[in-house]
């Protein structure tokens, strides 16, 4: 398996695990765009939102719940944060394994200006 996120799940590529359970792991983005930039991913290899089956849908709610908890533990829940799921080229999806970005710690503008 040459998926970098599957390698992180397997412990073959080191990462600082901020949260882990039977379904998900969360770790800091290697190239943070914001003071807090955490990735929340399912352990199961799902290439993108387009590949989500109905049976996989609950994992997305689980990811949101853990992202909310991490926003609190990282101290950005009151200042505000953004959860992002990129799908495909135009969205800038680089890693073909579903991941949720938790972004915060500074004012976020760009596409929502
Ligand atoms: P995308 O653009 O696909 O939505 O986001 C992929 C993210 O994964 C990028 O923000 C990138 O910095 C991050 N990333 C890519 N490779 C690694 C890695 O090996 N370790 C970690 N922690 N993050 C990575
Ligand atoms: Zn994968």
Closest CA to 9 of 38, 45, 35, 33: 45
Per-residue pLDDT of the chain (113 residues; tens, 9 = 90+): 799 999 999 999 999 999 999 999 999 999 999 999 999 999 999 999 999 999 999 999 999 999 999 999 999 999 999 999 999 999 999 999 999 999 999 999 876 65
Ligand 1 mutation pick, 5, 19, 30, max ligand atoms within 8 A of CB: 30
Max Cα–Cα distance, the chain, nearest Å? 40
What is the homologous superfamily of the domain 4-104 according to CATH? Answer: HIT-like (3.30.428.10)
Q: What is the pLDDT of residue 111?
A: 62
Burial of 14 (0-12, 13-18, 19+ CB in 10 A): exposed
> Which protein residue has the closest C-alpha to ligand 1 atom 20?
30
The full set of domain ranges for the chain reads 4-104
What's the CA gap between 65 and 100, in Å, rounded?
A: 11
Enter the tokens of residue 44: 């199961």
Q: What is the pLDDT of residue 30?
A: 97
Q: Cβ(26)–Cβ(41) under 8 Å?
A: yes
What does pTM read for this prediction?
0.96
Is residue 101 among the annotated active site residues?
no
Q: What is the pLDDT of residue 22?
A: 97
Phi then psi for residue 6, to 5 deg, are -65, -35
CB of 91 shorter than 6 A to ligand 1: no
């Amino acid at each position: 398996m040459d998926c970098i996120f599957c390698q992180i799940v397997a412990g073959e590529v080191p990462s600082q695990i901020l949260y882990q359970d039977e379904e998900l792991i969360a770790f800091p983005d290697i190239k943070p765009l914001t003071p807090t930039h955490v990735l929340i991913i399912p352990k199961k290899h799902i290439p993108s939102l387009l590949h989500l089956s109905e049976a996989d849908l609950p994992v997305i709610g689980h990811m949101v719940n853990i992202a909310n908890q991490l926003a609190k533990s990282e101290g950005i829940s009151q200042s505000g944060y953004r959860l992002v799921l990129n799908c495909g080229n135009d969205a800038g999806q680089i890693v073909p394994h579903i991941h949720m970005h938790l972004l915060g710690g500074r004012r976020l503008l760009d596409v929502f200006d």
